[in-house]
Every structure is written in structure tokens, then in C-alpha cells.
Amino acid sequence: MNEYRYDHRTVQGFILSAIFWGVVGIVIGLLISVQMWLPAANFPPYLTFGRLRPVHTNGLAFGLGVGAIFGLSYWIVMRLCKRPLLFPRLARVQLWLFNAGIALAAISLMAGHTQSLEYAELEWPLDVAIVVLWVMFAVNVFGTVLKRREEQMYVSLWYVIATVIAVAVLYLVNNLALPVSLTKSYPVFAGVNSANVQWWYGHNAVGFVFTTPILAMFYYFLPKATGLPIWSHRLSIVAFWSLVFAYLWTGAHHLVYTPLPDWIQTLAIVFTLFLIAPSWGSVVNGYYTVGQDWSKMRSNYLTKFFILGITFYGLQTVQGPTQALRVVSQLIHFTDWVPGHVHMGTMGWVTMVITASVYYVIPKIYGTEIHSVKLANVHFWLVLVGQLLFSITMWITGIRQGWMWKATDAQGKLVYRNFVDTVAGNYPYWQTRTLAGIVFTVGMLFFVYNVLMTIRKGRALERQAAPAAPAASVTAA
């Protein structure tokens, strides 16, 4: 197979785009973390917490996350299908549209144009652009899979296919709206129905953006990086179908103790608890894969990224179902516990697996080695420490907030009647969160530098290997 036909340029383009938007999103995240305890860091009208917070979430979820998903999914699909993309030029157009869309999304959100729906803030013209972008992705994925030269479909392909289908359905339904101008529309759902549809979408956006495509990467790149076969293909398939079946029913656990009918809440809680099983099916598969040779944790720098990543995934999928229980939700809902839970997944599970996958792919594109294994190890420890400090701090803050909101005196009256009193005590924890974010950001900058230096090294090798141009002949006049 001619390596050029695998369209490395598009894969690398999506990876570099994801890295760029990731840096932007992380820097904005640092700023809004400061704004929580230093109000003077808000710079109206565009650089305020209310404007920047959706830029942060969308920039990282869709800029970093989806950008990496596009590039790494194409890498996985081409190799598991043993053929190049069916429409490589379409993928190139998709790359340019993706970057234009993310840039316009950031500008529109900073300008205050929003649908006010979590993870679906963008107004209808950008929604249309995203649908077009996703159709391009779907056409290339399904076309390449249908024309594959390898009959057996490894589990990573199943996870990519599930991502394409589920995200399409979720995004279309939740973003149904009636436009009234170029910059404003109103959702077709209202009241309780709107809340139910929104969190059916919101939680499954986590499931099919932060879970299924990341599992596709995990199942593909862990065996590739370690040289160890996946422990159980059967377990991976059982876990896949169980996960896909259960995830779509869980969104209403975000709406416990709301006007949503109790039976819908209970159904969501039951399926959320069920999710522990398929999630830990993948965790066990990862552990037993590396369990064939635990020395890989020392000798192969990528192994610890994948194993710590799947560990955080496992912890998150125990913590999530636990906090869905009514008795737990009544304490921690609406507190900082929730961002602590979310960031353990995004900073631990998602980021570790994506960066490890990029570390594997970029040197392969250029037929070289990573610029510095030592820097990669420094990156690992910094993001690990930063993520743990961030998440644990937020869990403590959340429990403290919940108890303060509920504290009553002997007469049954609220002890903290002034809400500001419950906020002031959070400042030391929010400052620690900013410190954790700085540690994590430094680690990610080591990653960016390492990747760019590897590309530079690879291009230098390409120039050395290129045949010298023939000297021009000189004739006398």
C-alpha cells in the first residue's frame, strides 16, 4: 500500500487543528477559573465569564475533542479497512470547514449569540454548518467501511460507527429550532420537554463524543503501542453493545428533583447504574491486555497514558452512577462536585488517550521516533498531578457547598441565609483550582512542543531522503 494514499496530510491537519483549539480552550479555561475568585479579571463586554465559559466548553469539546476524533478516526478507519479514504478531497474540504466553523463559533459566542442550551449554544446558521461537516465525515467513514478490504470489523470500527450515527441523531433533534433572524432562533421544545430533550442530548454528547470515539482510540492504539494483543475481543464487543444500548436512556438523571415525571428520572437512574458494567468491561480489558506484560508500564512511555486514562474512565463511570442516586444528588447537584466529576473525565480519560494516540501517530507519519520520551514523561506527570489536584479540590468544594446550603439550626432555619456567605468560603478552593489548571497547562505545552519538534525532525529527514535535483546544464553563448 502506497503510504501517501492513506492521506496523512488530512490526518495531521486535523491533529494540529485540534492542538491549536485545545491550547485556546485551555487558556480561556484558566482565565475563567481566575474570574471565579477575582471579579476584576472580567473584561466586559466580550471577555466576561458568561461569554467565555461556553467558548471554553465548546472550544475543548468540539475544537480539541472533535478535531482529534476526525483525524484519529480517519487513521483508524483506513488501517482497519486496509484501504485509503473513499473521498480524500472531501476530507480536505471538511478540514477547512471545521476550522472555519470553530472560529465562527468562538466569535459568535463571545458576541453573546446563544441558544442557551448546554453543549448546544450555537445559533442555527452554525448548526447547519455542523450538520454539513458531520455528513462529510459520515460519507467518508461509511463509504470506506463499505469498500473495506478487511472482512473482520475490529471493535474500534464499531465505536466509530456508533459515534457517527448517535451524534447525528442527538444533534439534529436537540437543535430543532425556528429561526427568526440570522442570529436568533427559538427551540421547538419548551418547558419540561425542552429540559428532557436537552439532557438526553447533553449527557449523550458526553457518551458519544467523550466516550465511544475515545474507546475506539483506546482499543486501537493500546495494542499498537504495546505490541500486546487485546485480551478479549468477545468482551470488547459485549461491552460495546451494552454501552450503546444503555447510554441513550440516562440523560434524565440530570433532572432529579425537577418537574420531570418520577418514572423518567428512575428509568435514567437505573440505566445509569447499569452503565457501570459495560464501562468496566473496557477497563478490565485494558488491564488484562497490559497484564500480559506489566513491564510495559516502565519500558513503553505510552502505556501509562492509556492505563491511567482507562483508570480515570473507570472511576468516572462509578462516580457518575453514584451521584445519579437521589440521596447523593440532593447533596451535590448544582455544586462544584459536578465540574470536578466532568474534568476527571476530560482532563484524565479523554486528554490522556488523545495525546497518547497523537504521540503514536505523528512519528508514524514521518517514519521517525518521538522527539523526546523524557518530555513526554514530564507531560504525563504534570497533567496527572494537575488533574488530580483540580478534581479533588472540586469534590471537596462541592460537598462543602451542599452541606452549607442545607445546614439548619435547632429551629430548622437555614444557618447560611445569605448565599454570599456560602460563596466567600470557596475562594481558597477556586484559587487551588487555578493552580491545578496552570500545572495541567504547562504539561500540555510540553506535549505541544514535543509534537511540533517531532514534525520538524520528520520534515528534516524527508528533505535529506529526497533525491537531489539535477544540476542545470550551462552552455556557452
* DSSP-derived secondary structure for 153-220: --HHHHHHHHHHHHHHHHHHHHT-EEEEETTEEEES--HHHHHHHHHHHHHHHHHHHTTHHHHHHHHH
Residue 307: HSE in the Cβ half-sphere, 13 Å Cα cutoff: 18
pLDDT confidence bin for 474, thresholds 50/70/90: very low
The whole-number pLDDT of residue 5 equals 65
Strand pairing of 184-187 and 177-181? antiparallel
pLDDT in tens, 52-68: 999 999 999 999 999 99
Decide if 474 is inside a domain: no
The whole-number pLDDT of residue 471 equals 47
Decide if 138 is inside a domain: yes
The whole-number pLDDT of residue 466 equals 74
Residues 6+ apart with CB under 8 A from 334: none
The whole-number pLDDT of residue 368 equals 95
Note the pTM of the prediction, 2 decimals.
0.94
- Rounded to whole angstroms, the Cα distance separating 442 from 437 reads 9
pLDDT in tens, 16-39: 999 999 999 999 999 999 999 999
Inter-helix orientation angle 67-81/351-366, to 10°: 60
Decide if 24 is inside a domain: yes
pLDDT confidence bin for 363, thresholds 50/70/90: very high
Domain span at residue 146 reads: 1-188
Among residues 216, 223, 249, the alpha carbon closest in space to that of 68 is found at 216
Taking residues 391-407, what's their average pLDDT?
A: 96
The whole-number pLDDT of residue 463 equals 87
Q: Please give the residue that has the higher pLDDT: either 206 or 454.
A: 454
Decide if 231 is inside a domain: no
CATH number of the domain within which 127 lies: 1.20.210.10
The whole-number pLDDT of residue 468 equals 55
Q: Sign of the C-alpha dihedral, residues 40, 46, 51, 52?
A: negative
Decide if 462 is inside a domain: no
Decide if 319 is inside a domain: no
Instruction: Tell me: pLDDT of 261 over 80.
Output: yes
Are residues 14 and 425 in contact, defined by beta-carbon separation less than 8 angstroms?
no
Instruction: Tell me: pLDDT of 376 over 50.
Output: yes
User: How many domains does the chain contain in total?
Assistant: 1
Instruction: Tell me: pLDDT of 470 over 90.
Output: no
The beta-carbon contacts of 108-111 under 8 Å, at least 24 apart in sequence, are 108/183, 109/51, 109/54, 109/55, 109/58, 110/46, 110/47, 110/51, 110/52, 110/55, 111/46
pLDDT confidence bin for 462, thresholds 50/70/90: confident
- Rounded to whole angstroms, the Cα distance separating 275 from 250 reads 9
Query: What are residue 40's DSSP bridge partners?
Result: none
Decide if 128 is inside a domain: yes
Instruction: Tell me: pLDDT of 379 over 90.
Output: yes
Decide if 334 is inside a domain: no
The amino acid that residue 79 corresponds to is: R
pLDDT in tens, 87-114: 999 999 999 999 999 999 999 999 999 9
Instruction: Tell me: pLDDT of 200 over 80.
Output: yes
